[in-house]
Amino acid sequence: MDKAALRSDMKKRLQNVSTDEHLVRADCITNKVVGMKEWQQAQTVSITISRAFEVSTKALIEASWAQGKRVCAPKCVNPSQRTMQFFEITSWDDLENVYLDLYEPKATCRLLSRNEIDLIIVPGLVFSPSGQRIGFGGGYYDRYLADYHGMTLALAYAFQVMEDIPAEPFDVNVQCLVTDEQIYTVEAQ
């Protein structure tokens, strides 16, 4: 299957997960992440605001605030060039619904540069055990990560992990992948 087919297939599978199953599986993933040294050592973390069919990031964002970590979230700053930046959020009030069902930091939030971020939680639809990922097709994360040198980690349900997935030269792998069943760690590239 090519990237586009894998993407639409997985989006359908995720949309069919019941609310209860989402809750149980996401809870399992969150518990694993907060126990990891990559999480514990990070002072500034970048986390997406998950949409209904994605692995929920709500508990991780709240855990970050509770643990005194600085949290930032993505904002698509130039949709025609598909670039994004990360802005600090200190409460749910710092977010607004922009388009589709995406929530982004408001204009009043402070911009953080790449080198201020210790850990980026990268979203995606399909992953491989070696950290390859297929995202939502915008190329936003591949562009941002091309010039980022901190830690990366992705959250996924076990059924989102596949052995062989197509890769392109600009794809950037994640260094850790956490599912409800296991933790995969990949050597830095």
Ligand X SMILES: Nc1ncnc2c1ncn2[C@@H]1O[C@H](COP(=O)(O)OP(=O)(O)OP(=O)(O)O)[C@@H](O)[C@H]1O
Ligand Y SMILES: Nc1nc2c(c(=O)[nH]1)N(C=O)[C@@H](CNc1ccc(C(=O)N[C@@H](CCC(=O)O)C(=O)O)cc1)CN2
Residues that bind ligand X in the complex, under the rule CB under 6 A: 3, 134-143, 146, 168, 170-171
Pairing of strands 95-99, 102-105: antiparallel
In whole angstroms, how close is the CB of 89 to ligand Y at the nearest point? 13
Shortest distance in whole angstroms from residue 37 CB to ligand Y = 25
In the bound complex, what is the minimum distance in angstroms from residue 121's beta carbon to ligand X?
12
3-class DSSP assignment, residue 3: helix
Is 170 one of the annotated binding-site residues?
no
The token duo for 127 is 């992953």
State which of positions 40-59 bind ligand Y (CB under 6 A): 48-51, 54
User: Any known ligand binding at 135?
Assistant: yes
Task: Establish whether 82 is an annotated binding residue.
Answer: no
How far apart are the C-alpha atoms of 38 and 59, rounded to whole Å?
A: 17
Report CA torsion sign: 31, 181, 184, 121: negative
DSSP letter string, 13-56: HHHTS-HHHHHHHHHHHHHHHHTSHHHHT-SEEE-----TTSPP
How far is the CA of 129 from the CAs of 50, 124, 136, 156, 177, in angstroms? 22, 14, 19, 11, 8
Task: Show the tokens assigned to 116.
Answer: 């201020």
Residue 42 annotated in ligand binding: no
Query: What is the contact mask toward ligand Y in residues 116 to 155, using x (rule: CB under 6 A)?
Result: -------x-----------xx-x-xx--------------
Q: Which is nearer to ligand Y, 7 or 70 (CB)?
A: 7
6 annotated to bind ligand: yes
- Residues contributing to the site for ligand Y (CB under 6 A): 48-51, 54, 74, 76, 84, 100, 102, 123, 135-136, 138, 140-141
Please give the annotated binding residues for ATP, written as ranges. Answer: 3-7, 133-141
Please give the annotated binding residues for substrate, written as ranges. Answer: 49, 54
